[in-house]
Amino acid sequence: MPKETLLQNRIKGVKVALKGALLLVKTEASIKVQFGIAILMTIIGFALQISNTEWMLQFFAIGLVMGIEGVNTAIEKLADFVHPDHHEKIGFLKDISAGAVMIVSLVAVLIGLIIYIPKIMALTTI
Ligand SMILES: Nc1ncnc2c1ncn2[C@@H]1O[C@H](COP(=O)(O)OP(=O)(O)OP(=O)(O)O)[C@@H](O)[C@H]1O
């Protein structure tokens, strides 16, 4: 079999990653909710005309939360596959993995509050 080039190898890698991202959005309830929130925040961002820097921070927060949620999902599924029975260590592993999602989610909420509270205040004082 002819050896694939670096470009062919990378194209294959991108295809696999896209398939994984689609699988996450299609099958995982938490990612579906986060995707919905991401769309809503994008609409609100347009409506309240946030700045370029605010767009960057908002997309960064969305990407961070959804990315870490994806890794958390993979860890949960791997744990269930490797050890389907109840085990203290599996519980600990799943808890810290969920904790990582919680940390980035709190940061995302803080970013949202910092961006939108002044804009909402300005709207309500008009
Ligand atoms: N095999 C196990 N052994 C010990 N504790 C477990 C085990 N499976 C789950 N737990 C405990 O239950 C919690 C929830 O685990 P679960 O796999 O249901 O994740 P989840 O948060 O409900 O998943 P999702 O994000 O898909 O809703 C874990 O954080 C852990 O504390």
User: Which DSSP string do the residues of 55-108 spell out, in sequence order?
Assistant: HHHHHHHHHHHHHHHHHHHHHHHHHHHH--S--HHHHHHHHHHHHHHHHHHHHH
CA distance linking residue 74 with residue 29, whole number of Å: 14
pLDDT score of 126: 64
This prediction's pTM = 0.88
Instruction: Please check the confidence at residue 99 and state whether its pLDDT lies above 70.
Output: yes
CATH topology of domain 8-125: Helix Hairpins (1.10.287)
pLDDT at residue 28, as a whole number: 96
Mean pLDDT, the chain, integer: 96
Of 76, 83, 95, 97, the residue with max ligand 1 atoms within 8 A of its CB, to mutate for a pocket test, comes to 76
Q: Say what percent of the chain tops pLDDT 70.
A: 98
- Pairwise CA distance, residues 76 & 30, whole Å: 13
Q: What pLDDT is recorded for position 2?
A: 74
Q: What tokens does 108 get?
A: 């995302």
Ligand 1 centroid – CA 126 distance (Å): 48
Cβ–ligand 1 distance for 94 under 6 Å, the answer: yes
Task: Please write the tens of the pLDDT for every residue from 26-73.
Answer: 999 999 999 999 999 999 999 999 999 999 999 999 999 999 999 999
99 lines ligand 1 (CB under 6 A): no
Q: How far is the CA of 59 from the centre of ligand 1 (A)?
A: 28
